[in-house]
Amino acid sequence: MRSSTTLVLLFAASAALGQPPAGYYDTAAGLSGEPLRQALHDIIDGHNSLSYAQLWSAFQTTDVRPDGKVWDIYSDVPGGTAPYSYTFVNDQCGTYNSEGDCYNREHTFPSDWFNDAFPMYTDLFQVMPTDGFVNNKRGNLPYGLVGAVDWTSQNGTR
């Protein structure tokens, strides 16, 4: 339940902060059908795709806690104290043996489900920094309710 609440709060916060600049959709106003589709395509066409390696740097802007540490959903304890924290760059995963060793990149939607295809594979709305060990425990499973719990992380994630 805690992990579901955390995810809902994260998505709600990002939606509240992620408003487009004034006039962003003006060229699509009043259109429908194919002209609307083309106008929306033209609006988003200037995006920049990142490489998988570039995600490490992007996280330093998109996933930084108020104390400057990495915002990792598996160590976060809303209203409580995180059992561990990570420093950008220094704590990136190489190898790990247990929870709290390092952080890596986790796809919110298992990347095997879309054959690791780009641009989804490096989409910052779909990839976030997480504890390497806990991410490995999740494996290829989607987020959701857990029937039989066989392992629980230090912040209660199952």
Residue ranges covered by each domain of the chain: 1-11+52-152
Cα separation, 138 vs 14, in Å, equals 23
Residue type at 103?
Answer: Y
- Burial tier of 90 (Cβ tally within 10 Å: 0-12, 13-18, 19+): exposed
pLDDT at residue 155, rounded to an integer: 87
Cα separation, 59 vs 127, in Å, equals 9
pLDDT along the chain (158 residues), means of 10: 59 67 95 96 88 96 95 90 95 95 93 89 93 91 82 87
- Beta carbons of 157 and 3 less than 8 angstroms apart: yes
